[in-house]
Structure 1
Amino acid sequence: MTLDDFQVSDRDLSDAALSQYLKSEAIAIDTETMGLLPQRDRLCLVQLCNLEGNVAVVRIAKGQTDAANLKKLLEAANIQKVFHFARFDVATLRYHLGIQVQPIFCTKIASKLARTYTNRHGLKDVVQELEKVELDKSAQSSDWGNAANLSADQLSYAANDVRYLLSVQQKLTEMLKREQRWELAQQCFQVLPTIVSLDLLQFKDLFEH
Structure 2
Amino acid sequence: MTTLFTARGHIRLHRNDLPDGLDFGPMVAIDTETMGLDPRRDRLCLVQLSAGDGHAHCVQIVPPSLGGRGADCPNLKRLLTDPKVVKLFHFARFDVAILKAALDITCAPVKCTKVAAKLVRTFTDRHGLKDLCRELLGVDISKQQQTSDWGAAELSPEQLTYAASDVLHLHALWAKLEGLLIREGRLELAESCFAFLPARGALDLLGYVEPDIFHH
TM over 0.5: yes
1:156 aligned onto 2:157: no
Match for residue 2 of structure 1?
3
Equivalence map 1:24-63=2 (5 Å): 24-63=25-64
Distance 2:80 2:175 in 1: 20
Q: How does 1:77-116 map to 2 (within 5 A)?
A: 77-116=83-122
Flag as ranges the 4+ runs of structure 1 deviating above 4 A: none
Give, in angstroms, the shift of residue 197 of structure 1. 1.3
SS at match of 1:149: coil
Contiguous gaps of at least 5 residues in structure 2: 65-69
1:174, 1:165 → 2: CA distance? Answer: 14
2:67 alignment partner in structure 1: none
TM-score by length of structure 2 reads 0.92
- Cα shift readout 1:142-164 (whole Å, capped 9, x = no counterpart): 11011x31111111000000000
1:166 aligns with 2:171: yes
Structure 1's unaligned 5+ residue stretches are none
Select which of 171, 177, 180 maps to 2:182.
177
The letter for the 2-side match of 1:7 is R
Higher helix content, 1 or 2: 1
Query: What is the Cα-based RMSD across aligned positions, in Å?
Result: 1.0
SS in 1 for 2:191: helix
SS at match of 2:133: helix
Report what 1:142 is aligned to: 148
TM-score by length of 1: 0.95
Preserved contact between residue 89 and residue 113 of structure 2 (Cα < 8 Å):
yes
Report the 3-state secondary structure (helix = DSSP H, G, I; strand = E; otherwise coil) of the residue aligned with 2:87: strand
Q: Does the 8 Å contact 2:11/2:160 carry over to 1?
A: no
* Percent identity (aligned): 50
Q: What is the total number of aligned residue pairs between the two structures?
A: 204
